[in-house]
Structure 1
Amino acid sequence: MISKIRRLTKKVRKPNFPDFYHQPGTIPGTLIIDEDAEAPTIVLFDYNQTNFIRKQIATPEECLNYLDTESVSWVDVQGLGNQDILQRLGKVFELHPLVLEDVVNMGERPKIEDYEDQLLIIARMVVPKETTCGFYSEQVSFVLGKHYLLTVQEEPEHDCFDSVRMRIDKGKGIIRKNGADYLAYALLDAIIDGFFPVLELYGERIEELEEEVILKPTPQTLQQIYQIRQELLQLRRSIWPQRDAINALIRDSSDLISEEVRIYLRDCYDHTVQVMDMVETYRELASGLMDVYLSAVSNKMNEIMKLLTVVSAIFIPLTFVAGVYGMNFNPDKSPYNMPELNWYWGYPVCLALMVAIAVSLLILFWRRGWLANFSSIKHD
């Protein structure tokens, strides 16, 4: 059983560590660009309480006219497939080489770093897949300035910022009445809230697996359990350091985060803790499903062995009777050598005796309760 589990789990285990890493001896500030990365798309949002501008810009230098204004400028970069544009973007925003390295190189741990006039926030965003189970996971980097916010994402296809974009576009809520720090909070809150739809899907999958494990466990069920455990581990690695990062924003003093926004960040922190509790609960349920699976398989094996034992117990006396009359003793040599072989009704009497023995044993087993299926569970 253990060797079978190992063979099945080898099919579903995937590395949870990032593919982007520095080779030993790499110069600090080196940018690692994936060959398959899409070309960057830069979208500018500039707004205040009365005015709003949204446009796609071709070069990073076009952002210069908006960074020193009193309005809030959100520069959203999606895609990391052009190193030249990324380096020019770093010059426009006067990013430290290590900041640009953390922003561009994926696989960074969620964290907060204060660079006096800029605040670097690394977060991880998850989005549920549309057609299959699972989720997309990508790094989102924030560079917060006094009147601007730079965000960098891996891919343009998946993000959870549409609700924030709509609130800016329609002027809903208080987002256009506040500064760039409130915008950073709104985006972080959208990232944390994006975990809940993913966890809801896992809750439904675990409920389905619980029913399947009890009623009809299969090797495919075991593979799904291990797949869920691995994916929940990825979620845990994403949300756990994110909680510490948000806590650092609340606890540490920074001129870029106002006291009003810190109050909102407390609510974001509470949501993070709630996500962590749900992840831990589902991980425990997934681990418990493995024990239930092994118990169900063991019960099924016990039922098979019980059936075979009953069949064997019934045929043992029948085999004895058949073996006795299969002995080659000559009745002509002695009157004690199986005289019933010469009876007129000898053969029917022997068969009737064997049937009577089998029926008697079945009645005996039934009265003792040995024929009951103890492992069956009625499903409403």
Structure 2
Amino acid sequence: MSCAAVLVGDGAIRHLSPEDAAAYEGPGFVWIHLEGTEEEDRRILSGQGIPDIAANALVATETRPRCDRFEEGALINIRGPAADESAGSDRLVSIRLWARQGKVNSVTRHPLAATAMVMQQMEAGRILDPGDLVAAFARAISKQLDPQVADLGDRLDDCESGLDDRNALYRLRTEIARIRSEAIAFRRFVAPDRDALSTLADLDYEWIAEEDRLHIREAADRFARMTEELEAVRERAALLHEQLTDLRGELMESRSLLISIVAFIFLPLTFVTGLLGMNVEGIPYQHEPWAFWGVVGFCTLIGLAVLAWFVRRHWLNR
């Protein structure tokens, strides 16, 4: 488990232990960030006067993006890309924040990629209150997610371009299914992220400045656009899958037709050769020197006649 506590006061930034930051009651802004789910995390949170509902939500195993108002603060859960994509089964990991005047507690079960970006902004002196911190997380997560969502659309465009290659249909089927699965996984949390940030922007807390509200609304709008794009990707993937299924059906039908034509051509020829190949007396012209070539010519005429019949019925054009 790794813990970080950052104290902003008098224009100076000091890194304290979580215990010291929790006990700090002086002026300034305190941000206590915990990574992990150890019992020590619960002990640190329990001594800070956090309501039981908010404390349980901070350390819950499963969460969905949400924003709930309490008397003195707000509980915000949002999801963003993980620092390590193999950290969990979900593509997005959660950060849970309990924000009130002068202090923010945040908890992540798995490292969040946006945390490092927010920490750099804190070090640069651009985060001075809880509103700045929440807005920074919203902006960082939305900026990181945007290119990943756009990449799904680009990959789907490549699949559409590859439909003309009949030899790549099986590969495209796997790729389209993977893109659709990723879009569904993103959509599961991106839309609730939008709703949570929209709710947060409407809260009338003093520690949320008007500039912070604008940044939060901007992030919510970006999440809304990503939600629409994910819906479009999912629908396009479904249509492409249907089109791919039709193409595979047509390909199988054309191959079956070709096999049927070949079999139909050779059916009468097999009958003739089988009849003339019987080891019985009375086979006509069996002692004539031209008999073999005569049978070959006769079989050729039958094959051409069957082929001409196929052409006349336009079966070869299907």
Using structure 2 for the length normalisation, give the TM-score.
0.84
* Deviation for aligned residue 1:181: 0.7
2:122 to 168, 184, 191: 168
CA gap 1:301/1:75 in 2 versus in 1, 3 angstroms: same
For residues 219 and 284 of structure 2, the distance between their equivalents in structure 1, rounded to whole angstroms, comes to 95
Q: Which has the higher helix share?
A: 2
Asked if the contact 2:194–2:223 (Cα under 8 Å) also holds between the matched residues in 1, the reply is yes
For residues 329 and 186 of structure 1, the distance between their equivalents in structure 2, rounded to whole angstroms, comes to 96
Are residue 260 (structure 1) and residue 211 (structure 2) matched?
A: yes
Partner of 2:49, secondary structure, is coil
Are residue 182 (structure 1) and residue 132 (structure 2) matched?
A: yes
Q: Write out aligned runs for 1:1-380 (5 A).
A: 39=1, 41-47=2-8, 50-53=11-14, 55=15, 57=17, 59-65=18-24, 67-69=25-27, 71-80=28-37, 82-91=38-47, 93-127=48-82, 136-156=91-111, 158-171=112-125, 175-176=126-127, 178-210=128-160, 215=166, 216-218=168-170, 222-326=173-277, 331=282, 339-359=284-304, 361-362=306-307, 365=310, 370-371=315-316
CA gap 1:317/1:108 in 2 versus in 1, 3 angstroms: same
Identity %: 22
Which residues of structure 2 form unaligned runs of 5+?
A: none
Q: How many residues align?
A: 314
Deviates more, 1:122-131 or 1:315-324: 122-131
* Deviation for aligned residue 1:276: 0.3
Partner of 1:160, secondary structure, is helix
Partner of 1:73, secondary structure, is strand
Asked if the contact 1:144–1:256 (Cα under 8 Å) also holds between the matched residues in 2, the reply is no
Amino acid at match of 1:217: L
Asked if the contact 2:21–2:32 (Cα under 8 Å) also holds between the matched residues in 1, the reply is no
CA gap 1:124/1:190 in 2 versus in 1, 3 angstroms: same
* Deviation for aligned residue 1:147: 1.5
Asked if the contact 1:147–1:179 (Cα under 8 Å) also holds between the matched residues in 2, the reply is yes
For residues 339 and 296 of structure 1, the distance between their equivalents in structure 2, rounded to whole angstroms, comes to 51
For residues 72 and 163 of structure 1, the distance between their equivalents in structure 2, rounded to whole angstroms, comes to 18
Amino acid at match of 1:42: C
Asked if the contact 2:82–2:113 (Cα under 8 Å) also holds between the matched residues in 1, the reply is yes
CA gap 1:184/1:341 in 2 versus in 1, 3 angstroms: same
Q: Deviations over 1:270-297 (max 9, x none)?
A: 1011110111111112212321231122
Amino acid at match of 2:62: G
Asked if the contact 1:161–1:187 (Cα under 8 Å) also holds between the matched residues in 2, the reply is yes
Asked if the contact 2:194–2:221 (Cα under 8 Å) also holds between the matched residues in 1, the reply is no
For residues 276 and 62 of structure 1, the distance between their equivalents in structure 2, rounded to whole angstroms, comes to 38
For residues 190 and 104 of structure 2, the distance between their equivalents in structure 1, rounded to whole angstroms, comes to 22
* Deviation for aligned residue 1:323: 4.7
For residues 83 and 186 of structure 2, the distance between their equivalents in structure 1, rounded to whole angstroms, comes to 12
Asked if the contact 2:118–2:137 (Cα under 8 Å) also holds between the matched residues in 1, the reply is yes
Partner of 1:106, secondary structure, is coil
Partner of 1:74, secondary structure, is strand
Amino acid at match of 1:108: T
CA gap 1:288/1:127 in 2 versus in 1, 3 angstroms: farther
For residues 104 and 200 of structure 2, the distance between their equivalents in structure 1, rounded to whole angstroms, comes to 16
Using structure 1 for the length normalisation, give the TM-score.
0.72
**Cα RMSD (Å):** 3.0
For residues 194 and 135 of structure 1, the distance between their equivalents in structure 2, rounded to whole angstroms, comes to 16
* Deviation for aligned residue 1:137: 2.2
For residues 204 and 123 of structure 2, the distance between their equivalents in structure 1, rounded to whole angstroms, comes to 31
For residues 58 and 78 of structure 2, the distance between their equivalents in structure 1, rounded to whole angstroms, comes to 10
CA gap 1:153/1:339 in 2 versus in 1, 3 angstroms: closer
